[in-house]
Chains A and B, each alone.
Chain A
C-alpha cells in the first residue's frame, strides 16, 4: 500500500512521486459555521486526486484553501516541502498553482486567445510602460508567451475559435477555454472545480480525455472536484471523500467505493 514518502505505481503503470502538497489538520470557519473540520490529506506528484462529497460537504471551500483564497483558522498547508505562509491568491498562482472555476470565470468580451494569454500573466516580467511602448523586451516576451498559449490551444483543439469572443461560445467550449487558461500558466498543480458540471455525455468524454492527456503529457498534478461518480472513479488515482466538513474516506476509487461511511453519506442511513 501507500508508503509515506516514496510514492506508488498506479494500475495503469504510471509512477506517482512524493508529496507535493499536504493539508495538515485544516479547520475553516465562517463566523459560527465550521465549513471544514480538522481535515488532513496529501496530493502527490503526478497523480489525479479527486475530492468528492454530497452538496455542502465543503469541497469548494477546501479547493479555495488550497488555492490560497481562504485562510484556515487552524492547520497548515505544506507545498513542496515548505510550510506555506498566508498568501494572496496571485502569490499562490506564482508558486505554480492554477485553477478553473465551478461557474465559468472568463473575460466574456475578450477573444479566446486573449483569455488564454491572461493565463501567462504571472510569467510576464516587463513593466506597464515598456508593454505600452511595445518594443524590445516586451515584444519578445509576448512572442514567447504567445507560443505557449498557441501550444495549449493546439493541445485542447480550440484553434477554430481562437479569435471568437468568449461570450459567443457554448458552455462546453467555455469550460475548455477555462482549462486552456489554467494550462497556459504551466502549473505544477492544477485545481479543477467541477470541470464536467452541466455537460452532456460527449462533452464529458472529451473533457476526461483532455484531463488524462494533460496529466500524461505534461505530468501535471491535478486535484479535482466532481459530482459525476463515473468520471471520478475512472479518472482519479486517489479520492478524498468529505461530508459535513469532515473527511470520511480516503484511498483508491475501489476502497472508497466499498467504504460504508461513504455509502451512507451518499445514500443516506435510516435514523431510528
Chain B
C-alpha cells in the first residue's frame, strides 16, 4: 500500500484557490480546486485484495504531487512525452496528471498492442519516459528499446517478476514517489513554477487514433479542448459530484480520458477501477455506476448472456421473463421519455419492475444508471430498446478523438436507435455535397503531431473538421443520421449507392453474427464475409447436441450455415425496403473459418473493420465469391497473442442467398 498521508497539500491549496473559477485552465488546476471543494470525498477507488480501496481528493493530490516531484527528480523536462501503458488503475491516471504538472505531455497507449505497434508510437512521439503497469509491458518496451532513440527511463507499478531485471533505467513507481517526497523541499518551487505556466493552450494529452487506414496519428488535445468539452457535456447531462463511474475502457481511448479525467475532474466525481479485466462484471455490480459508458459490443454481449441464461432457466421463470419483457417493450421507453402511459400499464410495469426488471438490472449492474451512453458503432435497435425498456436511460452519442469526443448526443426524451442526436453544446455541423459530415467546436484538436499534411487534410483554416463519415440531418428533428464511412460509400457497377456498413450493421444485430464485411464496390452484386459469435452459436450447438471440436468446425456446420443464411435473407428483405440502398442486398456469402482479429491487423484495436487489409488478405475467398464456385480452399496466416505466427487451412462453403428483386427506377417514379 502506498503511503497516503495528505501532508502540507491541503493548507497550501486552500490558500491558493482564491483564484476565480475562470482560472481553471488545466487539469492540475482543477485538481487543486477539487481538493479545496471536495477534499474529503472519494476521487478514486480500486478493488485490490478483495476490498475497495479509496483515495479522497486530498489524498489523490498528495500522491500526484509526490509522483510529479519524483519525475522532476528523474529529470523530466517540460515538453517531454511520457507514455503510459496499462489497464485502468488510479496510479496510471495519477501519472497522467503528474505528467501534466511537470509540463510534460501524457501519451496513453493501448495495453494490448504488440511490441511492434508500441515501437511505432513510442518512436513517433519520442517518449523519454514510459510508465507501465507490469512485467508484460516492461518486456514489450525492453524488446523494442533499441529502435527508440529518445527513450530513457521506464517506471513500473507492479514489481512482480522484475527483481532480476537491470534496474539502471528501471524504476518502481512507489520508489519514484518516495524519492519525490524526499526531495520535496528541493523541487517544490520548480514544480509550482511549472504548474503555474499551464494554460488553455498548453497540451493536455496526446492520443493516438487507432487508424482504420495506415499508421496511427497522434492527436494533440489542448487544455481548452478537454476542459471546454468536459464542462459543456457535464452540463448537458447534469453530471454531479456524487456520480460514480467505472473506468474499464482502454486508457488510450479518448472517451476514457474525457470521462475519467476531463469530466471527473470538472465535476469532482469518483472514478472506480476494477480489480482485473475478468472481474469487470462483478465490480460493475458492486459499484453500481450512475454514469455508464460502453461500446455497443458490451451491451450486445450482456444481452446475449442474459438471453443464453434465460434459455437455460426453468419454465416458470422463462414465461415470466417473456411476459414482462413484452410489456416493458410496449411501455418502458415511453415511461422513460415521460410520455403519457395508462394507469393499468403503469401498474403492470411496476409489478414487472419488482419481479423482473429490478433484479435483472441489479444483475447487470445497472440499478443506479442515470445516464448511459453507447457510441463508436451503430447499436442494434433491438438491443437498444431492450435496455431502454428496462428503464435504463441509454442514449447514443457520436464523437471522435479529433473532436475531444463530443459531436452530437441525444438529449433526454429524444432518444432513438437510428440517429446519433443533436449537435452537442458549442458544436456546429455542416454536411458537404458528397454527404460527408463536418463540424466545428471548442473541442476541435490542435493538430496531428508531426504530421501537418494530415492536419491540413482534416481541418480547414476556418476550423471545420471532416469526420470521414457520410450522413444527413433529419429536417423535422434536427437529429444527425450516419450512413457509413464516407470513403467506404461507393457505387455498384449499375450506379446505385453502395454503403457496406449499413448492411453489416443489420447483419451484426443478429446475436449469432459477430462481425460481417460486405463487398460490392464497383461490382455487379454484393457479397459478404460472416463471423459467427462463438458464445451464442456455441450455446445453441450445446442445447441441440451438435458436437464440434473447434471454431472452424462450428462455423462450417451445415445447420449453422442454414441459420446464417436465414439471417442474410431477412436482412436482404429489410435492405430491399430502402429505395436508395436496395442494390446492397447480399447475393453470396461465406462464413469465415477464423475470427477477424486486431492481432492479425484485420480490425483496429477499437474493433473497427479494416477493409483494405481484409480485401488483400482474403483475396482468394473474395475471388471465389464472385466466380460462381461453391467452395474455396484457403490458407490464412494468424498471429498469436505473444506475436508468434501460424497458419490455418480451411475449405469454405459459399452459399447463395435469396434476394428480393427490386427495380429502383420504378419505385422512384411512383
- Other than A151-B49, A159-B50, give 9 A-B pairs with Cβ distance below 8 A: A12-B164, A13-B164, A154-B48, A159-B276, A162-B50, A212-B161, A213-B160, A216-B163, A216-B164
Is B637 an interface position by the 8 A CB rule?
no
User: Are B163 and A160 neighbours in the complex by a CB distance under 8 Å?
Assistant: no
User: Are B161 and A159 neighbours in the complex by a CB distance under 8 Å?
Assistant: no
Q: Tell me which residues from 278 to 320 in chain B have a Cβ below 8 Å from any Cβ of chain A.
A: 278-279, 282
Cβ contact of B161, chosen from A154, A160, A162, A213, cutoff 8 A: A213
Is B275 an interface position by the 8 A CB rule?
yes
The distance from the CB of B353 to the nearest CB of chain A, in whole angstroms, is 27
Is A155 an interface position by the 8 A CB rule?
yes
Q: Which residue of B lies closest to A13 (CB)?
A: B164
User: Are B161 and A216 neighbours in the complex by a CB distance under 8 Å?
Assistant: yes
Q: Which residue of B lies closest to A147 (CB)?
A: B49
The distance from the CB of A179 to the nearest CB of chain B, in whole angstroms, is 15
User: Are A159 and B164 neighbours in the complex by a CB distance under 8 Å?
Assistant: no
Q: CA–CA, A258 to B279, complex, Å?
A: 47
User: Are A157 and B276 neighbours in the complex by a CB distance under 8 Å?
Assistant: yes
- Name the B residues within 8 Å of A212 (CB-CB): 161
Q: Tell me which residues from 97 to 128 in chain A have a Cβ below 8 Å from any Cβ of chain B.
A: 113
Q: CA–CA, A154 to B276, complex, Å?
A: 10
- Name the B residues within 8 Å of A12 (CB-CB): 164
- Name the A residues within 8 Å of B276 (CB-CB): 157, 159-160
Q: CA–CA, A209 to B160, complex, Å?
A: 11
The distance from the CB of A188 to the nearest CB of chain B, in whole angstroms, is 19
The distance from the CB of A130 to the nearest CB of chain B, in whole angstroms, is 24
Q: A153-B50, A154-B49 are in contact. Are A217 and B163 (CB under 8 A)?
A: yes
Main secondary structure of the interface of A (DSSP, over half): helix
- Name the A residues within 8 Å of B161 (CB-CB): 209, 212-213, 216-217
Q: Which residue of B lies closest to A160 (CB)?
A: B278
Q: Which residue of B lies closest to A162 (CB)?
A: B50
The distance from the CB of B275 to the nearest CB of chain A, in whole angstroms, is 5
The distance from the CB of A263 to the nearest CB of chain B, in whole angstroms, is 31
Q: Which residue of A lies closest to B162 (CB)?
A: A216
Q: Which residue of B lies closest to A217 (CB)?
A: B160
**4 tightest CB-CB pairs across the interface, nearest first?**
A160-B278, A150-B49, A160-B279, A150-B50
Q: List 13 A-B contacts (CB under 8 A).
A: A12-B164, A13-B164, A150-B50, A150-B51, A153-B50, A154-B49, A157-B276, A159-B50, A160-B279, A162-B50, A213-B161, A216-B161, A217-B161
Q: Tell me which residues from 2 to 27 in chain A have a Cβ below 8 Å from any Cβ of chain B.
A: 12-14
User: What string of 1s and 0s marks CB contacts (under 8 Å) between A138-167 and chain B?
Assistant: 000000001100110111010110100000
Q: Tell me which residues from 47 to 87 in chain B have a Cβ below 8 Å from any Cβ of chain A.
A: 48-51
Among A14, A159, A213, the one with the most B-chain Cβ atoms within 10 Å of its Cβ is: A159
Q: Tell me which residues from 130 to 173 in chain B have a Cβ below 8 Å from any Cβ of chain A.
A: 160-161, 163-164
- Name the B residues within 8 Å of A159 (CB-CB): 50, 275-276, 278-279
User: What string of 1s and 0s marks CB contacts (under 8 Å) between B25-65 and chain A?
Assistant: 00000000000000000000000111100000000000000
- Name the B residues within 8 Å of A13 (CB-CB): 164
- Name the A residues within 8 Å of B51 (CB-CB): 150
Q: Which residue of A lies closest to B642 (CB)?
A: A205
The distance from the CB of B117 to the nearest CB of chain A, in whole angstroms, is 23
Q: Which residue of A lies closest to B161 (CB)?
A: A213
Interface residues of B (CB under 8 A from A): 48-51, 160-161, 163-164, 275-276, 278-279, 282
- Name the B residues within 8 Å of A217 (CB-CB): 160-161, 163
Q: CA–CA, A87 to B616, complex, Å?
A: 70
- Name the B residues within 8 Å of A153 (CB-CB): 49-50
Main secondary structure of the interface of B (DSSP, over half): loop
Among A12, A147, A157, A160, the one with the most B-chain Cβ atoms within 10 Å of its Cβ is: A160
Q: Give the bracket for the number of chain A residues in contact with chain B.
A: 20 to 34
The distance from the CB of A176 to the nearest CB of chain B, in whole angstroms, is 13
- Name the A residues within 8 Å of B163 (CB-CB): 216-217
Q: Tell me which residues from 148 to 196 in chain A have a Cβ below 8 Å from any Cβ of chain B.
A: 150-151, 153-155, 157, 159-160, 162
Q: Which residue of B lies closest to A153 (CB)?
A: B50
Q: CA–CA, A155 to B160, complex, Å?
A: 8
- Name the B residues within 8 Å of A14 (CB-CB): 164
Q: CA–CA, A157 to B49, complex, Å?
A: 11
Q: CA–CA, A101 to B89, complex, Å?
A: 36
Q: CA–CA, A14 to B163, complex, Å?
A: 11
Q: CA–CA, A13 to B163, complex, Å?
A: 12
- Name the B residues within 8 Å of A150 (CB-CB): 49-51
The distance from the CB of A26 to the nearest CB of chain B, in whole angstroms, is 35
Q: CA–CA, A151 to B49, complex, Å?
A: 6
- Name the A residues within 8 Å of B282 (CB-CB): 160
- Name the A residues within 8 Å of B275 (CB-CB): 159-160
The distance from the CB of A187 to the nearest CB of chain B, in whole angstroms, is 19
Among B50, B163, B278, the one with the most A-chain Cβ atoms within 10 Å of its Cβ is: B50
The distance from the CB of A160 to the nearest CB of chain B, in whole angstroms, is 4
Q: CA–CA, A154 to B275, complex, Å?
A: 9
Q: CA–CA, A20 to B160, complex, Å?
A: 25
The distance from the CB of A204 to the nearest CB of chain B, in whole angstroms, is 14
The distance from the CB of A189 to the nearest CB of chain B, in whole angstroms, is 21
- Name the A residues within 8 Å of B50 (CB-CB): 113, 146, 150, 153, 159, 162
Q: Which residue of B lies closest to A14 (CB)?
A: B164
Q: CA–CA, A146 to B50, complex, Å?
A: 9
The distance from the CB of B641 to the nearest CB of chain A, in whole angstroms, is 10
- Name the B residues within 8 Å of A162 (CB-CB): 50
Q: CA–CA, A179 to B427, complex, Å?
A: 57
- Name the B residues within 8 Å of A213 (CB-CB): 160-161
The distance from the CB of A219 to the nearest CB of chain B, in whole angstroms, is 10
Among A13, A150, A153, A154, the one with the most B-chain Cβ atoms within 10 Å of its Cβ is: A154
Q: CA–CA, A171 to B147, complex, Å?
A: 42
The distance from the CB of B379 to the nearest CB of chain A, in whole angstroms, is 27
- Name the B residues within 8 Å of A157 (CB-CB): 276
Q: Which residue of A lies closest to B279 (CB)?
A: A160
Q: CA–CA, A159 to B46, complex, Å?
A: 13
Q: Which residue of A lies closest to B49 (CB)?
A: A150
Q: Which residue of A lies closest to B275 (CB)?
A: A159
The distance from the CB of A245 to the nearest CB of chain B, in whole angstroms, is 38
The distance from the CB of B133 to the nearest CB of chain A, in whole angstroms, is 13
Q: CA–CA, A14 to B164, complex, Å?
A: 9
The distance from the CB of B369 to the nearest CB of chain A, in whole angstroms, is 23
Q: Which residue of A lies closest to B276 (CB)?
A: A159
Q: CA–CA, A96 to B400, complex, Å?
A: 58
Q: CA–CA, A150 to B164, complex, Å?
A: 25
Q: CA–CA, A270 to B8, complex, Å?
A: 81
Q: CA–CA, A162 to B278, complex, Å?
A: 11
Q: Which residue of A lies closest to B158 (CB)?
A: A154
- Name the A residues within 8 Å of B278 (CB-CB): 159-160
Q: Which residue of A lies closest to B48 (CB)?
A: A154
Q: CA–CA, A116 to B483, complex, Å?
A: 54
Q: CA–CA, A99 to B44, complex, Å?
A: 39
Q: CA–CA, A157 to B87, complex, Å?
A: 15
Q: Which residue of B lies closest to A209 (CB)?
A: B161
The distance from the CB of B137 to the nearest CB of chain A, in whole angstroms, is 15
Q: Which residue of A lies closest to B640 (CB)?
A: A202
Q: CA–CA, A133 to B164, complex, Å?
A: 47
The distance from the CB of B282 to the nearest CB of chain A, in whole angstroms, is 7
- Name the B residues within 8 Å of A147 (CB-CB): 49
Q: Which residue of A lies closest to B641 (CB)?
A: A202
Q: Which residue of B lies closest to A155 (CB)?
A: B160
Q: CA–CA, A147 to B275, complex, Å?
A: 15
The distance from the CB of B661 to the nearest CB of chain A, in whole angstroms, is 51
The distance from the CB of A154 to the nearest CB of chain B, in whole angstroms, is 6
Q: CA–CA, A213 to B163, complex, Å?
A: 10
Q: Which residue of A lies closest to B282 (CB)?
A: A160
The distance from the CB of B211 to the nearest CB of chain A, in whole angstroms, is 30
- Name the B residues within 8 Å of A155 (CB-CB): 160
- Name the A residues within 8 Å of B48 (CB-CB): 154
Q: CA–CA, A150 to B48, complex, Å?
A: 9
Q: Which residue of A lies closest to B163 (CB)?
A: A216
- Name the B residues within 8 Å of A216 (CB-CB): 161, 163-164
